[in-house]
Structure 1
Amino acid sequence: MKLNKLFKSAGLFGSLALGGALSAVAPAAMADQEYLLTVTRPNQLHVIDMSTNKVARTCDIPGDFGSGIMSVHPEGTHVFVLGHNWEDVYGFDIRNCDVTFHAKQSTPTLQVKSYQSLAVSADGKELYTVQNPVKKHRDHFEVLEPRLAVFNIEDGLNAKPVRTFPVDRRITKIVATEKGEVVLGGADLKAINPQTGEMRTVVKLANWERGPRWLQPDAFAMHTQGNQSNEYIMPYSTAKFTDDSMNFETAEWWWGMARVDLATGEVERRELFPFEFIIFNFVSDPRNEEILYGSFNTLSKHDIRQQKTLAVKEMPHTYYTINISGDGETLYVGGTSSDISIHSSETLEKIGSIQLTGDMTTADMRVATIKD
């Protein structure tokens, strides 16, 4: 369906503001309810009722398929999706699939891509993304400086940046803190004030001066699924060498993380447990921050206080991402293919599956909670 027809069919106009939409009373059946959100090809947003593990509704996303990266509004009723070849941002009311926000970032002479970077402010008023612009000249392309773009969510269907600030290259996943900063995941973790552009280093990774017997950490900034615990986790791998010969074969290999508490801004950086298999993403147990779960070709459970792997389950195929229910009892493992595998967080045993209409590939799995 074309974009203008989709807007008209939803009864929406360019002057629609999300603030009004958010004030609407949700149906009683949807109050105080968790929904699992993900995106699949060809270009659809799926809203899954986590009380039944059934797809409640499927929303068509305008334009071409994008990365499927999402950010949920604090009220849980709306989600923002990076789509259309990683260029446009669309906001949806997950209760009825209405498109309530649209930011078209590219122009005929300027191509703008956002790589995984999408975040909503803690007060729900602003949306942030890191733009990577390329100017199109008649006979060449000019790569311009990356920038943080700030949008007012209430600007609705024709949103334009209200502020931009220069940022580092290589920034992917970002998140907004309750202190009013935006954490930028790149070579190091930095934070920017989206009102002034003031930047600070939160914690060093690539530039961590740790000593000659430690390998520079290799961080993986694909997804950030920490909304259930109100945190941001950046996994990394590193090695500790046994002597100055820097022999990789005898080195101790470790998984580590940098973790930011989004309420307080406090950060920790530490090794977690030995590197024995690949993990794409971590999610922590909302009941116990010392318990982490990981996903890729395996589903794993770890006690990071003891630096110990508690359980590992081989998976039938690769799963890029993972999330968890608010009560911490159920794990959802997805991404890559068209199925979401459901597991007990206690035993890691499979307890269910959700079959979708297309592949999730790089898409997020986010949890939206609509409270009474």
Structure 2
Amino acid sequence: MLTGIGASAAADTTSSEDPTARDYREYLLTVTRPNQLQVIDMTSHTLLRSCDIPGPFGSGIMVPAADGKTAYVITNIWEDIVGIDIRDCEITFHAAQSSGNETVKSFQSVAVSQDGQELYTVQNPVRLMSDHYEVLEPRLAVFEIADGIGAQPVRTFPVDRRITKIAATGTGEVILGGGDLQAIDPETGDIRVVEPLQNWQRGEEWMTPDAFAMHTQGSQANEYIMPYSTARFTDGEQDMATAEWWWGISRVNLETAESERMEIAPLTEVIMNFVTDPTDDNILYGVFNSVSKIDIATKTIVKEQPLDHTYYTVNVSRDGNTVYAGGTSSDISVHDAETLEKIASIQLPGDMSTSDMRVAVIHDAAP
């Protein structure tokens, strides 16, 4: 198991019994329809502000900068990326990616370098001709955040198709979640395989995994998780009916870019997304029709708590004490991490649909 995941994120925290003694504030971020960024105080579980996002709703996918002050959101039906200061709703960055007869979509992919200077997205361009569409090669686009409103890519590099969620590492690479887990150098375009998934070589005993590259939420644990499902065949016939079905993850430490891949629990129910406890990288939380707590060492779901309805995404506080289930509807369900009992509900002014639910941390911050 990797070392370091979660440790650096929790190193400067104080006792969860006295939140006012912390030198930081945590904010839960999500996007709701028609198109607003919601900023939630994670100590009081109250909605602080709703920031209007230009253009129609995209997918609600976003990334907070490392300093926590700005959230970068995909908007305008996946064509634009805007940066919004979560403290006052000021728009500080806007990249309109389509121009002329070329329509550019970014599906789920947005990341910010850990020094806060560059923004990355995978562009999927299509040229609109008079009588047909010309599908162009996908590319990683690199923006300078200092270019602000009207930013244009300063570099682009070809990448594979089907890449969705991405993340920036402390080593200067960008993790690309597609058929396989890859990393690209945004200075040179050089690509390496981090963890093979579609192309893993585990023999006929294992079924090729089905990965789910939708949400990214593990920034406070300084990690990237790609969930997958697979089957281990118990005979030479590859009989699905007798196979052992498993949940698994490919996980990347975003500080070091070290990675690991493992099966984590039997696939006994649908789980939409996973997030690691920032204080214990052996513990995962998952969500769909229930909140699940998974012990990786024993490969078991050790606790489950049924939910009022389906939720798509999950996150956890920086001290590891509180779990949040969000997405889908207009409420966030708040749970005690030890017992998984529901302790609060946060009502929002619109539904979250496919949106991310991210944690932003600002040091010495006012509400």
Normalised TM-score (structure 2): 0.93
Q: Deviations over 1:271-306 (max 9, x none)?
A: 111001011110111111000000011110010011
Match of 2:5 in 1: none
Q: Residue 331 of structure 1: which of 315, 323, 331 is its match? A: 323
What's the RMSD between the two structures over aligned residues? 1.3
Q: Deviations over 1:203-258 (max 9, x none)?
A: 10011010111110110000111111101010000000111111111110000110
Residue 128 (structure 2) pairs with residue 140 (structure 1):
no
Higher relative contact order (CA 8 A, sep 6+): 2
Query: Taking structure 1 as reference, are residues 64 and 31 closer, same or farther at Cα in structure 2, changes over 3 Å only?
Result: farther
Residue 243 (structure 2) pairs with residue 255 (structure 1):
no
Instruction: Give the C-alpha shift of residue 108 in structure 1.
Output: 3.0
Q: Deviations over 1:296-338 (max 9, x none)?
A: 1111001001111101111121100000111000011000000
**Helix, strand or coil: the match of 1:249?**
helix
Runs of 4+ in 1 over 6 A off after TM superposition: none
In structure 1, give the amino acid aligned to 2:71: V
Q: Residue 78 of structure 2: which of 86, 110, 126 is its match? A: 86
Match of 2:338 in 1: 346
Q: Residue 320 of structure 1: which of 309, 312, 320 is its match? A: 312
Match of 1:204 in 2: 196
Match of 2:26 in 1: 34
In 2, distance between residues paired with 1:363 and 1:87? Answer: 16
In 2, distance between residues paired with 1:61 and 1:259? Answer: 31
Q: Residue 64 of structure 1: which of 56, 67, 73 is its match? A: 56
Q: Deviations over 1:10-48 (max 9, x none)?
A: xxxxxxxxxxxxxxxxxx9x9721100000000000000
Residue 121 (structure 2) pairs with residue 159 (structure 1):
no
Match of 2:98 in 1: 106
What does residue range 8-27 of structure 1 map to in structure 2 within 5 Å? none
In 2, distance between residues paired with 1:313 and 1:276? Answer: 15
Q: Structure 1: give runs of 5+ residues left out of the alignment.
A: 1-27
**Helix, strand or coil: the match of 2:240?**
coil
In 2, distance between residues paired with 1:99 and 1:265? Answer: 31
In 2, distance between residues paired with 1:358 and 1:58? Answer: 10
In 1, distance between residues paired with 2:359 and 2:263? Answer: 27
Match of 1:305 in 2: 297
Match of 2:110 in 1: 118
**Helix, strand or coil: the match of 1:272?**
strand
In structure 2, give the amino acid aligned to 1:220: F
Instruction: Give the C-alpha shift of residue 140 in structure 1.
Output: 0.8
**Identity rate, percent:** 62
In 2, distance between residues paired with 1:241 and 1:273? Answer: 16
**Helix, strand or coil: the match of 1:208?**
coil
Residue 210 (structure 2) pairs with residue 218 (structure 1):
yes
In 2, distance between residues paired with 1:354 and 1:298? Answer: 17
What is the aligned length? 345
Q: Deviations over 1:68-87 (max 9, x none)?
A: 10111111111100011011
Residue 168 (structure 2) pairs with residue 176 (structure 1):
yes
In 2, distance between residues paired with 1:242 and 1:268? Answer: 24
Match of 2:230 in 1: 238
Q: Residue 260 of structure 2: which of 268, 271, 293 is its match? A: 268
In 2, distance between residues paired with 1:105 and 1:31? Answer: 38
